[in-house]
Structure 1
């Protein structure tokens, strides 16, 4: 680790080292599944544990490897595992060896009931219901259910002047196909979303007292990377962007004193007793990076307990980080 400004604190002890874009899913039987981007960006891994703590030392299984050429042959990023309609699905992004930034969202489906032991089948790209979704750099797809309907949110770049990464939402027809055209959810409009690159990406959803909170990551992947948030009542029309409220400032950002740099690309899960919402995210322990931050391997997985303020809004604070046992 080449880190001229590395500072060890009680807040920045990693949960799982060198795993970025972390996703933790708590299944209906109480077990936890973990997946994330690996530094080589060349495979998809899974860990399983009966407890959240146990994921730190759980055996890691490679369930899929990148292609040697063509699509899905480079930049395997940000996998998420979901259980929908009785089947396991993994949503992830990948590029092409001869066009490494031709990033698109793809899907794997497990052939059996055990996502660790049973084989996975390549379904291919997510199917759009319009002619313009997924036509450019698209990634960080997440899915969630609300009032009996499933929704998909993802990041996609557009080029009208400067090329920027927006977040879009659509209703789903099935786990592998969208039912509606994309709707623009948020675009990088504030200064903290435009550091080095104009970026909104990495969406994640948590539900609390009748409201949905959607966090997302903004700016480049170095020290300026941070987390913003949208919110909406669960009874509202989710495909109406005017119904969503966007926070003016980031809800989590670099804290030099605590030694946490570039927090971002989070997911949410529950504690074992179901009482607490837990945010799983990545960050670095230093800000000095040689070369492109995207290829620095030391984005580690962290976890924190989410607090809720008097207005029932989530509060994200590094002081609520869990230390590993």
Structure 2
């Protein structure tokens, strides 16, 4: 359709202008070092920025690892900080861990199940808490988080993955991807939920459904999904950037929820507006999704970390990529188009080899 061609051209121009601007700035500052995508193997990239360091977390298959680095382009050396137990609800399928810092402790939010392999019908969300201030542990297992509809009935906890905390007007909330009801098949639609947190390790209320795959750009495949919600805040505005369509197919992409006004209650679905897609793959970069965000070491640039598929073949063989993004005059993020592999990008401002 003509409008689709125009939209692709416009987004291509956006990312081209962004890259040109960064190259000019880098040249002006004498920073000529570059990097190329992909930056490493893997999936579900997570980065947490604190002071002058970046903290990364990742699944090891049977546990969770953390690394610390001064760079966005190099995550450093991962150290396994937690091993899944031999028995229990969280002994298998360790997915998409996120490390966060609250009140002198590090917390890692993750998804796991009691049975290995498919069907993935047992996934629930849990949290680890560091014993002290060291991000490399040791950590205590603080158990399963409540993701149900009849608080505090633990029997009502529902399937939940990709849980991430977000602070809105001083109140902590959890957002995640979940099922409406637990089912005996993983061919089940996924929705986005939010709930109030009383502490970084406690959800203290019923979940509220914020989003379902109900837009044309979220639908069309064998199993339409909303997952991987990531908060993005700037200037008092709150966004949730999430993944939609099927993670194992090339159509995987990013959508956006925005709280209509900073003073509105985030637990009311009508207070959020959906738009998208805000980031889609190309013939050269396939199935883009499950992102996180950071600023450059000197704080002057905004960067998007995401994964993409290595081939058009259905599956989860993916690598991790990094590229800058900008903001429009209305305060909305502009992600442009994914930069193809091998194209030189200037290092994040303030990062040097």
When normalised by structure 1's length, the TM-score is 0.85
1:164-194 C-alpha deviation (Å, 9 max, x unpaired): 2111111111111123321111011023323
Q: Deviations over 1:44-63 (max 9, x none)?
A: 111111222332xx111111
Cα deviation code 1:230-268 (max 9, x no counterpart): 111322211111111101x31111210xx1111111111
Equivalent of 1:149, from 155, 167, 171? 171
Structure 1: gaps (5+ residues): 1-9
Unaligned runs of 5+ in 2: 1-33, 348-352
Is 1:317 aligned to residue 336 of structure 2?
A: yes
Deviation at 1:309, TM superposition (A): 1.6
Deviations 1:202-248 (A, max 9, x none): 0001112221111111121121211110111322211111111101x
Matches within 5 A, 1:213-252: 213-221=239-247, 222-232=249-259, 233-247=261-275, 249-252=276-279
- Aligned mate of 1:138, from 153, 160, 163: 160
**Counterpart mapping for 1:164-313 below 5 A:** 164-194=189-219, 195-221=221-247, 222-232=249-259, 233-247=261-275, 249-256=276-283, 259-289=284-314, 293=315, 296=316, 298-313=317-332
Distance 1:82 1:277, change over 3 A: same
Distance 1:155 1:319, change over 3 A: closer
Partner residue of 1:121 out of 140, 155, 171: 140
SS in 1 for 2:214: coil
1:20 is the counterpart of 2:46: no
Is 1:22–1:37's contact at 8 Å kept on the other side of the alignment? Answer: no
Name the count of aligned residue pairs: 300
Q: In the alignment, is the contact (CA less than 8 A) between 1:102 and 1:136 conserved in 2?
A: no
TM value normalised by structure 2? 0.78
Corresponding residue SS for 1:188: coil
User: In structure 2, the residue corresponding to 1:62 is in which secondary structure?
Assistant: strand
- Are 1:152 and 1:172, in contact at CA under 8 Å, matched by a contact in 2? yes
Match of 1:6 in 2: none
The aligned residue for residue 68 of structure 1 is: 86
Distance across 2 between alignment mates of 1:37 and 1:203 = 18
> How much has 1:287 moved relative to structure 2?
1.1
| Rg (Cα) greater in structure | 2
Larger helix percent: 2
